[in-house]
Amino acid sequence: MNRRRALAFALAGAASALLAGCFSLSFHREKPRPGRTTVDSPLVVLPAQKLGTYLVIEAKWDRAGPWHFIVDTGSTVTHVSPEFAKRYGVKNSGPPPAPNIRVKSATGETLVLAPITLHRLELGDAHFDDVPAVINAASCTQLSTHLGVKIDGILGFPLFRETLLTFDYPHERILLAPAGSPALIPGVAIPFNNANKTPIIAVRVGERTFIALLDSGSDSALSINVVGGLSPFFAYGPREGTIVSTLTGDHPQQIGRLDEPLTIGSYTIVKPIADLSDELSAIGGAILENFAVTFDQEHDRVTFHRESTAPLPPSPRRSAGVAFAKTPAYWRVAGVVPDSPAAAVAVETGDLVTRINGVAVAHWDFSRYEQLVAHAETVNFTFLHGARETEKKIRVFDLVP
């Protein structure tokens, strides 16, 4: 099964419609390629910067860098920038790289991602040699622009096959330990697909059980595949949201609040927000960020831990009603939520925004805009039409109450 991942990055309220993985994936997992993983400490602590639901880690091991990475448990391959590949890539040596990967962009163009073998990648005291990867300039550049931090690589799940990998969201850090180590953080252990080494687990909505990918590369909460017969009950919606741009084109978001709880192990999320999808169901960062999540590929299990066992209460999804494709000079409107305050003041797809609340968009990174939409009653956008600028005050509303 192929799963499409986002290519354009849309800021859409308190949580964006961004799916950071940026590539087409297959859930057939190949056997590990030749290489070596060395963890020189019983515990490697990697401090992280939390941007939205992403943990961005920084590493430096020689005169170059520092380098910034996102770990994506939904990706079967590591993606790196051309700059990183140029410094650490090897040719005609090491394990043979995979064939070129061809994917279709949101504009319909075919992208060819060139394979490369990285002779070195170090995360603290964890060393990875002869790492298979692909060069993906588009995703690294767009993700950097979106988050306001230069992203040099998106580290795929197989890279950590010989480690114990923990996303400690509450303490904003990623932990690594040698494979076979005891759990770094106790919690509720759930088995995942041990045939393909993919973090797909069984979860429940109400009394119905289904499988879902644990996807740290998505900032959504819950994505539900409704093509396979799962028909959840909604307390609100589903309604049309923003435009979600994927490798196969732009798709209108269908989003709502479930009328039933989501159960992961012994933890309960009350009436979560869910997107409807024709792709593999997934649990993204908006839910994962409430836990410390440990992936143990040697024993084919994942462990969830949260200080409180109380059910997670619902919270609204706030939005300014517009999704943006972001560049340093301006933000282009990628979509407008129907029947929203933005639509009422005639904001249209393709409009260009140069300032927000009077400040140039170059000074608005992901976190700053997210906080604004989360707390403001209105947002003033300055639109550019030819050589003329106009200002529109748009009311922030609950996309999903």
Task: Let me know if domain 317-400 sits in CATH 3.10.400.10.
Answer: no
Q: What is the pLDDT of residue 263?
A: 97
Digit-coded pLDDT (tens) for 89-99: 986 444 545 56
Task: Let me know if domain 189-287 sits in CATH 3.40.50.11610.
Answer: no
Q: How far apart are CA 230 and CA 212, in angstroms?
A: 12
Q: What is the mean pLDDT of the chain?
A: 85
Percent of the chain with pLDDT over 90: 65
Digit-coded pLDDT (tens) for 213-227: 999 998 889 999 988
Residue 400's alpha-carbon distances to 6, 218, 232, 308, 389, in angstroms, are 22, 19, 16, 25, 31
Confidence of residue 244 (pLDDT cuts 50, 70, 90): low
Burial of 346 (0-12, 13-18, 19+ CB in 10 A): exposed
Residues 6+ apart with CB under 8 A from 314: 257, 270, 271, 272, 273
Digit-coded pLDDT (tens) for 173-211: 999 999 988 877 888 899 997 677 899 999 999 999 999
CATH 2.30.42.10 residue window(s) in the chain:
317-400
> 107 versus 220: which is more confidently predicted?
220
> 21 versus 250: which is more confidently predicted?
250
* Token pair in block for residue 275: 């997107």
CATH 2.40.70.10 residue window(s) in the chain:
2-178, 189-287
Q: What is the pLDDT of residue 145?
A: 83
Of the listed ranges 52-61, 93-102, 240-249, the one predicted with least confidence: 93-102
| CATH topology (fold) of 2-178 | Cathepsin D, subunit A; domain 1 (2.40.70)
Confidence of residue 168 (pLDDT cuts 50, 70, 90): very high
* Token pair in block for residue 127: 């060393």
